[in-house]
Amino acid sequence: MVSRIYNTQGELLAEYADEHRILTPFDEIPKKVRNAFLAAEDQQFYEHPGINPARIASALIANIMAGHKVQGGSTITQQVAKNFLLTSERTYTRKIKEVILAHRIEQSFSKNDILYLYLNQIYLGRGAYGVASAAWRYFGKRLDELTLSECAMLAGLPKAPGKYAPHLNHDRAIKRRNTVLYLMERSGYAKAEDVAHALKSDLKVVPLPTKHLSDAYAQEVHEQLVQQFGLNTLRRQGLNIVIPYQQDKENAAIQAVREGVLEVEQRQFYRTPTQHPKNTWDDLLATWAKAQTHIKHPLGRDQIIPALVEKVQKNGDLILHDGEKQWRLSKPKWQWAKAEKGDTHPRTWMVGDEVYIQGDGKGGIRLSQKPSIESALYAINLKQGTVLARVGGFDFQFGGFDRVSHAKRQPGSAFKPLLYATAMEKGFTPASIVMDTPIVFSANNADNFWRPENYKNKFAGPVTLRNALEHSRNLSAIKLLQDVGIHTFTDKLRDFPFTQEFPPQLALALGATEVTLEQLTESYIPLATNGLKWKPVSIQQVQDRNGRTLYRNVAGHRCQVCHVNPVLSAGHGMRPAEQILDPTSAFLTTNMMKGVIEHGTGRRARALGRPAAGKTGTTNKQVDAWFIGFTPQILTGVWTGRDTPASMGRSETGAHAALPTWLAAMKAFQKGLPVEDFIPPKGIEWAMINPRNGKLAGSNTEHPFLESFREGTAPTEMDQVEDNQQTGESDFFDSDL
């Protein structure tokens, strides 16, 4: 039985099955379908006792005269015995068993029961078992929609499905179908005029259903189903599964990840290409041309294909051929990687080089190379509580390494919002002052010390917590952790969706730990939803083949009464949401994170054109780049880096290497949604302050800022003197950690 996955609109997304089968009651199998198989396989089915001696003798004579098997003598009852109870070995012993079992089946079942078993069990090619499945997989029709011609074609398949399948050999299938039609007319199973009409019709086979469910989203759904029900149940019990998948959103996410990776790759060193001798060019180009039959043209910015350097012009321009088309490419300005030991290729392009070309979005191409960079994306619909998109890598394949849930990497400054949220709960405000000054931590000896640094080694002195978060000031974060208390923070982290214990170290303020993209993105859910922790839903409902609900899942923040019923609370998401932050602390943190985008390290995200909050993250030597951000409707996290941790280059910060992917995906996710801002919960008050010192703005305050506070915590001291002191921010504001 086939298990099928549908989206909430009822569109078929994917199928899981060892055998594609649609069990159909006997009285729902049209008579013309039954008659076609009787004419082709066993015209005396209703007369013989399970075996047909005359037919066996006729087949034996025909096979002897031909010198090989040209005709079978088995009745439908014998085929049922073989398919259900015996192996397919060709021995006299097995044949004797088949005859005995056929006789016993005839004694135990009615003729209609036997025919029902046969028509639902017989293999008809293209993965289809049974006539209903074959009707769907060949013609995209129900049994009652089949024409006489199509019935005859299906009835001609049991003899040799691979030989007579119309999508494999159309002419041979037509001849076999015609033979079955003649047999139907001769045996009285069809009228002559109906047969004459059917003989003139063509056979149009529909493509098999496309798998719309893709990338890491497909793998995550499969893994959850196997964990919940087991692989055998999933592939054999005909489950009907509903998931919140939106193909257009997943495709947009995949495209954003691929384009983002290829853009970062443009800033990497060019690596030594493969060289091909001229006598191999023809075969190579033919292979590439064949592969391009599955590629859309013109190439998109997310697509790369191989190309051969056929000529290098005097001015450095390259003449390339991709197997289908020749291109002229202006002299590339790519910086080459240093030659490794044994690499004799000159640091320039040569005739015979295999390079890669990428679509430029305008119908042309630009030089590219196979990515050394990877990226992953995870998006959540905050309103519905569902997984919106999940991309496991640049070219993720089912069964591959899902970087959303399996890649553990340091989050860098993307971890800081959790510290700031903890501080808000402990009485700090966005206007609280923290020092951004150098500090050195010594160990037991003078040669062992830790000296944390800010990006570009700039310091701003006393700053507000808002300023420190917006500009990702590392030293301020460390001092804030000292003030909050390391154990207070590590205890709070247990409330967030992490499975590991965190070491009580000050470096935790800078994200010196390892998390997955899935964990880090879901840890932002409480910040975005008034302090509530809940698990996003990937599978909403599972029913058995009889329509009985086996499993339901609703995100906790939307579920009001479902957790009352222990049967329906089997899914983790059926549990009510847990309040791990008070709504005020969550809002204060989110409001500061809005500033990250409005005038901090995440300024590129302003191009989204609507209120959003987020945080960049970059680890030492630009090994990992992150951006986690959200609107009131959608939360999306992006990680970019190498599978084997190594620097991507000094410019590859979170704002450069991850945020553009986030932005491209979020533009697609938010399309058509109303513009919403974050709504303050009860208990929030507002005050106009001096953003430099956190005091109430006075008449001489330059650039006063409207800040949010927990009721009763707004500053009371007035900013009396105009402060023109420079803080060093003008240079540092250009940082993008």
SS3 sequence of 436-496: ECCCCEECCCCCCEECCCCHHHCCCEEEEHHHHHHCCCHHHHHHHHHHHCHHHHHHHHCCC
Give the closest residue to 127 by CA, choosing from 213, 206, 18. 18
**Helix (H/G/I), strand (E/B), else coil: 598:** helix
Condensed to tens digits (0 to 9), the pLDDT of residues 368-422 reads: 999 999 999 999 999 999 999 999 999 999 889 999 999 999 999 999 999 999 9
pLDDT exceeds 80 at position 452 = no
Give the closest residue to 217 by CA, choosing from 86, 20, 76, 387. 387
Q: What is the pLDDT of residue 468?
A: 96
Condensed to tens digits (0 to 9), the pLDDT of residues 221-252 reads: 999 999 999 999 998 888 999 999 999 999 99
pLDDT exceeds 80 at position 268 = yes
The mean-pLDDT minimum among 360-374, 451-465, 473-487, 662-676 falls in 451-465
Q: What is the pLDDT of residue 567?
A: 46
The domains located in the chain, with CATH, are: 18-200 (1.10.3810.10), 269-368 (2.40.50.140), 375-424+436-455+468-534+580-670 (3.40.710.10)
Catalytic residue positions, numbered: 41, 413
> Residue 298: is the preceding peptide bond cis (ω within 30°)?
yes
pLDDT exceeds 60 at position 733 = no
Q: How many helices (H) and strands (E) does the chain have?
A: 24, 26
Sign of the alpha-carbon torsion through 590, 592, 595, 597: negative
Q: What is the pLDDT of residue 51?
A: 78
pLDDT exceeds 50 at position 724 = no
Contact 211, 202 (CB under 8 A): no
Q: How far apart are the C-alpha atoms of 44 and 78, rounded to whole Å? A: 13
Condensed to tens digits (0 to 9), the pLDDT of residues 649-690 reads: 999 999 999 999 999 999 999 999 999 999 999 999 999 999
Q: What is the pLDDT of residue 47?
A: 85
The mean-pLDDT minimum among 274-278, 342-346, 373-377, 439-443 falls in 439-443
Dihedral angle of Cα 248, 251, 253, 257, to the nearest 10 degrees: -160
Q: What is the pLDDT of residue 52?
A: 67
Q: What is the pLDDT of residue 211?
A: 79
Q: Name the pTM for this structure.
A: 0.85
Q: How confident is the model at residue 259 (pLDDT cuts 50, 70, 90)?
A: very high
Q: What is the pLDDT of residue 58?
A: 58
Contact 648, 264 (CB under 8 A): yes
Q: What is the pLDDT of residue 345?
A: 94
pLDDT exceeds 80 at position 458 = no
Condensed to tens digits (0 to 9), the pLDDT of residues 63-121 reads: 445 444 444 568 888 888 877 765 555 555 666 777 778 778 888 889 999 999 999 98
Q: What is the pLDDT of residue 447?
A: 56
Mean pLDDT of 496-508: 94
Q: What is the pLDDT of residue 108?
A: 85
Q: Mean pLDDT across the chain, nearest whole number?
A: 89
The mean-pLDDT minimum among 194-203, 439-448, 473-482, 549-558 falls in 439-448
Q: How far apart are the C-alpha atoms of 156 and 176, rounded to whole Å? A: 6
Q: What is the pLDDT of residue 61?
A: 53
Q: How confident is the model at residue 37 (pLDDT cuts 50, 70, 90)?
A: very high
Contact 541, 552 (CB under 8 A): yes
Mean pLDDT of 315-338: 95
Q: How confident is the model at residue 139 (pLDDT cuts 50, 70, 90)?
A: very high
Q: How confident is the model at residue 572 (pLDDT cuts 50, 70, 90)?
A: low
Q: What is the pLDDT of residue 89?
A: 59
pLDDT higher at 228 or 567: 228
Q: What is the pLDDT of residue 728?
A: 41
Q: Identify residue 627 by its one-letter amino acid code.
A: F
Q: What are the start-end ranges of the E strands in 188-242? A: 240-242
Q: How far apart are the C-alpha atoms of 404 and 519, rounded to whole Å? A: 9
Condensed to tens digits (0 to 9), the pLDDT of residues 435-450 reads: 988 877 765 555 556 6
pLDDT exceeds 60 at position 59 = no
Q: What is the pLDDT of residue 102?
A: 77
Mean pLDDT of 687-700: 94
